[in-house]
Chain A
Amino acid sequence: MSTPAAEAVSETGKSDVRPRREVIHRHSWLVRLTHWINALTIFIMVGSGLNIFNAHPRLYWGQAGADFDKPFLALHAWPDWLTIPGYMDLADARHWHFFFAWVLVINGALYLAWSLGRRHLQRDLWPTAADLRAIPRSISDHIKLKHPKGEAAKRYNVLQRLAYLGLLILLIGMVVTGLSMSPGIDAFAPWLVTVLGGRQSARTLHFLFASAIVLFIAVHLIEVVLAGPFNEVRSMITGRYTVPGEHD
């Protein structure tokens, strides 16, 4: 559906005739709802996770690892302004983390079930063969900060699709590695910990996956700002999205 020329109106009454922008319904109510719950949840999970991490800011590979063992990665404690609560408090950080872990799982399960059932995931996120062929061009478009217009803006581009699918996989990875650190779950499913290379490996992967999610969020926010923050944020709140015109 292209912008109907017949609807072109003058905004100022002067001669610079501009076509009326096409508005589409971009995000379904469930995607919008779960998106914002997820955004708040991940924010809290990262903040409380860093607080928990600060109780022992070293990472290991294998089943075991403590002060005397060679670390995979030895870091310093994260500053208080990044953590939740904003001071060192392992007990309360765990309360935040494990409450919102449930929120993350329930919200994520709702999103996944809906997305698979309504074919949102298969149709809107899974890249087509043509998408995959367009990867090099999409990369160059992104580098040049060239955003899709018109028809192309109505669907996710291939890098978006891969990024959102990647985030989905990372979040599932967070839940699995998180559960693997629980001694109770380890007794129930020891194979899970073995597959991940051990309990300390699971903790290291948990941290690395979280880092990748933070990187995703940074790129995501930059893209929102570059693509037009008002239109993008509004579309995620109300669902209404103004399709950028070919001549903008």
Chain B
Amino acid sequence: MSIIITRRQALIGGLAGSGLLLTGCSRIFQADALTDSESFQRVLAAAQGWTRATQRFLLGGGEMAREYEPSDISPHFKANGTLNPGGQDYDRHVAEGFVNWRLKIDGMVAHPLSLSVADLRKLPARSQITRHDCVEGWSAIGGWTGVPLALLLRAAGVRAGAKYVVFYCADNLDGDPAKGGDQSMGEYYESIGLTDAMHPQTLIAYDMNGKPLDVPHGAPLRLRVERQLGYKMAKYVRHIQLVSDFSGIEGGNGGYWEDRGYDWYAGI
């Protein structure tokens, strides 16, 4: 008896199973409706807090991201996001060799600064060869030279109560459908907390692989935050602002991609 029933059961089981699958993995338990639900998103978002707290604890000693040898440098470092901000202003800066580019540092600081690229090049520099990990999954190794952000922040004097460093960029990203989600137009900006901002490997970089940054990689200045994903490392940086919270800044989530659903803490 068992063999006959077993075969029939196998057939029914198999059909039911493939039927379920063909309706779609998401539809079986309404995953898409759950994704759209704000209260369910709040549940999922709890895990971001656990991850951030765990990593903050593990990296409490200021651990350094691994640095590589010159021979490890990727022959072609993929440029992603904006490849050329364009527009009259930026094009003029390119034509002038960025001699008139200014990096403003203001917000909750004692002494607001406005620095040219030449000013930055005169300051103590740090060089590091690190691996750049994109949220999409790929990695590339590159050499970066720039001014440690900590040095600039100390010169500006961070005022009590400041918690985040916001980076405003010259590019207006009009969306890359490959990343999914809401990719409406918007100026690129990013932010990091003071712990990462004061980390010795966090740089305002002006050189890549021994040469001035090229346009696809963020000329003339870009951020390096080596213990987080690539989307944190804003390119074409022109303005740094210290704030206590993100209210009133674009979508209020601390970054272009963050306003489009990505996590603010990108250590994972």
A interface residues with partner B (beta carbon < 8 Å): 43-44, 47, 52-53, 55-56, 58, 60, 63-69, 80-96, 98-99, 101-102, 145, 181-188, 190, 193, 199-200, 203, 221-222, 225-226, 228-229, 244, 248
Residue contacts A-B, CB under 8 angstroms, 5 given: A63-B72, A86-B31, A90-B180, A90-B262, A91-B181
**Contact between A187 and B137, CB atoms less than 8 A apart:** no
Report the nearest A residue to B2, measured CB to CB: A248
How many residues of chain B have a CB within 8 Å of chain A? 68
| Bound Cα distance A155, B59 (Å) | 46
**Contact between B35 and A81, CB atoms less than 8 A apart:** no
| Bound Cα distance A193, B56 (Å) | 19
- Judge whether B151 is part of the interface by a CB distance below 8 angstroms: no
**Contact between B26 and A83, CB atoms less than 8 A apart:** yes
Residues of chain A within 8 A of B267, CB atoms compared: 182-185
Report the nearest A residue to B141, measured CB to CB: A64
B interface residues with partner A (beta carbon < 8 Å): 1-2, 6, 9-10, 13-14, 17, 21-27, 31-32, 35, 41, 43-48, 50-51, 55, 58-59, 63-66, 68, 72, 74-78, 131, 133-141, 177-181, 226-229, 257, 260-263, 266-268
- Tell me how far the C-beta of B98 lies from the nearest C-beta in chain A, rounded to whole angstroms: 27
- Tell me how far the C-beta of A62 lies from the nearest C-beta in chain B, rounded to whole angstroms: 9
- Tell me how far the C-beta of A70 lies from the nearest C-beta in chain B, rounded to whole angstroms: 11
**Contact between B138 and A65, CB atoms less than 8 A apart:** yes
Residues of chain B within 8 A of A53, CB atoms compared: 137
**Contact between B14 and A85, CB atoms less than 8 A apart:** no
Residues of chain B within 8 A of A98, CB atoms compared: 47-48, 51, 268
**Contact between B137 and A52, CB atoms less than 8 A apart:** yes
Report the nearest A residue to B24, measured CB to CB: A81
Residues of chain A within 8 A of B141, CB atoms compared: 63-64
**Contact between B139 and A55, CB atoms less than 8 A apart:** no
Q: Which of A60, A90, A193 contacts B136 (CB 8 A)?
A: A90
Q: Which of B46, B63, B181 contacts A92 (CB 8 A)?
A: B181
**Contact between B136 and A184, CB atoms less than 8 A apart:** no
